[in-house]
Structure 1
Amino acid sequence: MSWRMPAETARHERTWMAFPAEGETLGDTDAAREEGYATWTAVAHAVAEFEPVSMLVDPSEITRARRMLSGSIEIIEAPVDEFWMRDAGPTFVVDADRPGVLGAVDWIFNGWGAPDWAEWRRAAQHARIIADAVGAELVSSTLVNEGGGIHVDGEGTVLLTETVQLDPRRNPYADRQRVEAEMARTLGATKAVWLPRGLTRDYDDFGTNGHVDIVATIVSPGRLLLHDQQNPDHPDHAVTRDLRALLSEQTDAAGRRFEIIDLPAPATLRDEEGPVDWSYVNHLVTNDGVVACGFGEEKADAAAREILADAYPGRRVVTVDARPLFDRGGGIHCITQQQPAL
């Protein structure tokens, strides 16, 4: 078998999501819960403008989901606790030696390092549930990893973060060589590009400890979009400056030095919890479109749409207010997972 993860820009069969279920992530007030339901629904409807959407829904939320979701969105009843599909769900791969065969990598999911607050044991089964639903071959992995912790170009390059895959709460016995070997086996990655860390807020209790999908993404082979915090009063100003310097010296699997496209952060620096990690990098590429995070800043949101439209020629860019997602620890990319077309 020769598994390969296609680039996100390749054609999709559909996008997978999970509908929110009551718990720590959704919120502890009626207003917070309603905000969560509404935001996940808005993202689903935005994605459905471009491609089919399938939604895992906990039995306790079936009635609500049927009321809020359009009839075009497929509802699949399954146990749900955490509903960040990118992280708990499967990473889809194809087999170069067997055209038409779909694989689903089942990483071990432990709630981003098994923090005390996380409820993740139901979500840890989502990869197997979805693989069974679509008839994909299960590619079982012993690596604790999340889909938000990787980005690929489809041609052998994978972006990783030292504080994620080498996190002792996730993989206490891993080193770079072991991680890279597993990326080669499961994703077909022949070149790993390691970031030393992620954004500041992502190291809070509700963070992922440095997911790459909020920092950088490969828009096409040899080209990176990089989060750019331009304000020196924000701690990520130094972080993104250093990441830019590092990535500018890196090459991809084909030996190309990366062209880096800066994607400026919105103007807001802080919320009541501290420095924000609002990032336009955390978007989803769909068939003929891009679903982008918005942050209620007309000028910055419009500038990001323009950069994304230029980075992904021929795709229509739409914005969904992602502040309720970031308040809960992630963004649009984090709650979606593409299934490639065969």
Structure 2
Amino acid sequence: MAWSMPAETARHERMWMAFPREGITLGEGSETQEAGYAAWAAVANTIAEFEPVSMVVDPSQAARARRMLDSSIELHEAPLDEFWMRDVGPTFVVDPERPGALGAVDWVFNGWGAPEWAEWQLSAKLGDFVGEQAKAELIPSGLVAEGGGLHVDGDGTVLVTETVQLDPRRNPGATREEVEAELARTLGTTKTIWLPRGLWRDYDAFGTNGHVDMVATFSSPGTVLLHHQPDPQHPDHLVTRVLKEQLLGETDAAGRSLQVIDLPAPPILRDHEGFVDYSYVNHVLVNDGVIACGFGHEQADATAREILAEAYPGRRVVTVNALEIFARGGGIHCITQQQPEVKA
């Protein structure tokens, strides 16, 4: 078997998500909780305009989900605690040599390094559950990993960060070579590009320790969209400058030098907790469209749409307010997971 992860630009069978439930991520108080439910529902309902959506729902939230979600959205009840589907769910792959073959890589999930605050034991089982619902062949992996920690170009190259894949709280003692071998086995990649770190905010107590999907993504083979923080007051100004210099010196699996396109952050530097990580890189591709994060800044949101429309020609770019999602530690890409279309 030669499993391979398609680029996110490939056609999708559907998009998988998980509906929020009460707990530390959703937050305390009815107003805060309702804002979280509404943010997840808005993303799901927008995606449903482009492609089918399947939503995993904790039994305690089934009635609420049915009330808030478009009637076309398919619900699958299962116990869960965390609801970042990109991280708790499987990574879908295909086997080009076997028509109709769909695989689901079931990474080990330990709550982004088993921090004391995290509630993850229930959602750690969702890789298996979602794979089964999708009628995919389960591909177990011993690697502690999350979908937000990797990006592929569909042509053999994968982007990762050292601070996630080599995190001693995730994979103690792991070497680059061991991680690369497991990514090759499960995703079919032949070239791993190691970025030293992710965005500043992602290293606080509730962060992921540097998920790549907040900072860089392939828009096509050979082309990377990179988070750009133009304000030198923000620590990500230096972070993204260093990452750009590295990426411009890299080649991909096919030997191409990388083109890097800046995707500027909105001119919002702080929230009540400190420097923000508002990133338009954390968009998700859907069939014939792009769902972009919005941050309530009309000009910056519009500029991001223009850049994304040029990077993904022929797709309609739609902005969904992502402030409530970012307030909980991630963005639109983080709460979604595409299931690729397979040809019979």
SS of residue in 1 equivalent to 2:14: strand
Q: Deviations over 1:83-139 (max 9, x none)?
A: 000001000000122121000000000000001111111111111111111211000
Counterpart Cα distance in 2 of 1:25 and 1:264: 27
1:318 is aligned to 2:318:
yes
Question: What residue in structure 1 maps to residue 219 of structure 2?
Answer: 219
Question: What residue in structure 2 maps to residue 172 of structure 1?
Answer: 172
Question: What residue in structure 2 maps to residue 330 of structure 1?
Answer: 330
Structure 2 letter corresponding to 1:324:
E
Counterpart Cα distance in 2 of 1:29 and 1:256: 51
Counterpart Cα distance in 1 of 2:301 and 2:308: 11
Question: What residue in structure 2 maps to residue 95 of structure 1?
Answer: 95
Counterpart Cα distance in 1 of 2:135 and 2:340: 13
Unaligned runs of 5+ in 1: none
Question: What residue in structure 2 maps to residue 191 of structure 1?
Answer: 191
Question: What residue in structure 2 maps to residue 130 of structure 1?
Answer: 130
Displacement of 1:29 in angstroms is: 1.1
Q: Deviations over 1:10-66 (max 9, x none)?
A: 000000000001000000111110000000000001111100000000000011111
Displacement of 1:70 in angstroms is: 1.2
Question: What residue in structure 1 maps to residue 247 of structure 2?
Answer: 247
Pick which of 96-105 and 136-145 moved more. 96-105
Counterpart Cα distance in 1 of 2:194 and 2:38: 36
Displacement of 1:80 in angstroms is: 1.3
1:78 is aligned to 2:65:
no
1:256 is aligned to 2:256:
yes
Counterpart Cα distance in 2 of 1:147 and 1:99: 25
Question: What residue in structure 1 maps to residue 49 of structure 2?
Answer: 49
SS of residue in 1 equivalent to 2:306: helix
Question: What residue in structure 1 maps to residue 283 of structure 2?
Answer: 283
Question: What residue in structure 2 maps to residue 5 of structure 1?
Answer: 5
Structure 1 letter corresponding to 2:14:
R
Structure 1 letter corresponding to 2:299:
K
Structure 1 letter corresponding to 2:257:
R
1:235 is aligned to 2:235:
yes
Question: What residue in structure 2 maps to residue 63 of structure 1?
Answer: 63
Structure 1 letter corresponding to 2:186:
T
* Runs of 4+ more than 2 Å apart: none
Structure 2 letter corresponding to 1:45:
N
- RMSD, aligned CA: 0.5
Normalization by structure 1: what TM-score? 0.99
Counterpart Cα distance in 2 of 1:233 and 1:33: 32
SS of residue in 1 equivalent to 2:64: helix
Aligned residue pair count: 342
SS of residue in 1 equivalent to 2:291: strand
Normalization by structure 2: what TM-score? 0.99
Question: What residue in structure 1 maps to residue 143 of structure 2?
Answer: 143
Structure 1 letter corresponding to 2:271:
D
Structure 2 letter corresponding to 1:188:
G
Counterpart Cα distance in 2 of 1:143 and 1:173: 12
Matches within 5 A, 1:26-45: 26-45=26-45
SS of residue in 1 equivalent to 2:131: helix
1:121 is aligned to 2:121:
yes
Counterpart Cα distance in 1 of 2:234 and 2:33: 30
Structure 2 letter corresponding to 1:170:
R
Unaligned runs of 5+ in 2: none
Structure 1 letter corresponding to 2:179:
V
Q: Deviations over 1:264-306 (max 9, x none)?
A: 0000001110000000000000000000000000000000000
- Taking only the aligned residue pairs, the percentage that are identical comes to 70
SS of residue in 2 equivalent to 1:3: coil
Counterpart Cα distance in 2 of 1:225 and 1:96: 27
SS of residue in 1 equivalent to 2:15: strand
Question: What residue in structure 1 maps to residue 309 of structure 2?
Answer: 309
Counterpart Cα distance in 2 of 1:134 and 1:172: 32
